[in-house]
Amino acid sequence: MLKLEELAGSVSEGCAHVVRLRLQEFLQRGQALRDAPQTEEALHDARVAIRRARVWLKLAGDAVAVSNKNRHALRAFARESSPVRDMEVQLAWLEGLQLEESEQLGQQALLTVLHEDFERKRALLLETLPEALAGAEHALKTLHPLDKHDEPLGEWLAGQWMDVAAFLIEDVPHLPDNLHAVRLVAKQLRYLLEPLVDALGAGDVMQPLRRGQDALGRVNDVQVLRAALPRYVGMLMGQQVEADVHLALDMELAPTWTLPPVWAGLRAVCVRALEEETEALAELHGWRLAHGDALMAGLQRIGVQLAGSGFDGFGNPLEESKP
């Protein structure tokens, strides 16, 4: 998306180029969702596109002209899409469970509740989509670079990159305690790096970064499910049951009730959720051990490439270049 020679050009021109492409992508993906909201992957594609656009809009800051009104329209869709996406993942996971016949009554009862909640939230999301598409379209028409940065794009990006990468470098060894913060930073780095991969030859960094984001996302998904399960069970069985299920899952236990008959399936789902979390944490731990050190070195290398040979990737002059 960005060529190597463009990294020597102006910050404003480079950012405007990337933001323009990201807004065009969201318009395409968002219109596809609007035209066929039931199509598989339509919501996922639109949500990824809006995140990519917003990362670069935030990064560009005052380097490009995009009105606050248009930014707010995009943010509203992004905000409403998160819980819908979470429920979409939960439905797919629940539908994919292979349970005993005696457990399927509870499974189907949960699916009914989730489907109803999902449809309500998706309807609210789709109400925000026209405004977001109009905001992206208007932003494209009025988008232009602002000459407020005189340093080369690569040097400027090096500082932005390492501000984020330094956090990941410091915090990855402490996973999963800081999972949510690391997951957000990993997304930022991925969307920041995507337009630079070819210019920097950074495919070796993008691959483990994507794998890490997948592992982080899996843990997050099951933890969101685990937090939501008591509410869904409570919608079926009452508030007191919701509190008891919440307490049991907090203790990493599955409730032991067997009556009424629907409960066999509800308990089985709780057991599977705990098992899924254990597997997801093991996958994340394996990724950190297998790829963590190489990824950290790659992040610093990209900082060096962006900043130039006179800097160490954190913006500090190398020893030989100091006066």
**Domain boundaries along the sequence of the chain:** 152-314
Reading the block at residue 43, the tokens are 């919501």
CA angle 24, 26, 32 (to 5 degrees): 110
- CB 302: neighbour CB atoms within 10 A? 24
Predicted TM-score (pTM) of this structure:
0.86
Q: How far is CA 138 from CA 73, 74, 131, 227, in A?
A: 11, 11, 10, 39
**pLDDT of the chain, 323 residues: tens digit per residue:** 888 888 888 899 999 999 999 999 999 999 999 999 988 789 999 999 999 999 999 999 889 999 999 999 999 999 999 999 999 999 999 999 999 999 999 999 999 999 999 999 999 999 999 999 999 999 999 999 987 667 889 989 999 999 999 999 898 888 888 899 999 999 999 999 999 999 899 999 999 999 999 999 999 999 999 999 999 988 888 777 788 888 888 888 877 766 578 888 998 999 999 999 999 999 999 999 999 999 999 999 999 888 874 444 444 555 544 44
Q: How far apart are CA 104 and CA 26, in angstroms?
A: 39
Give the whole-angstrom CA distance, residue 94 versus residue 99. 10
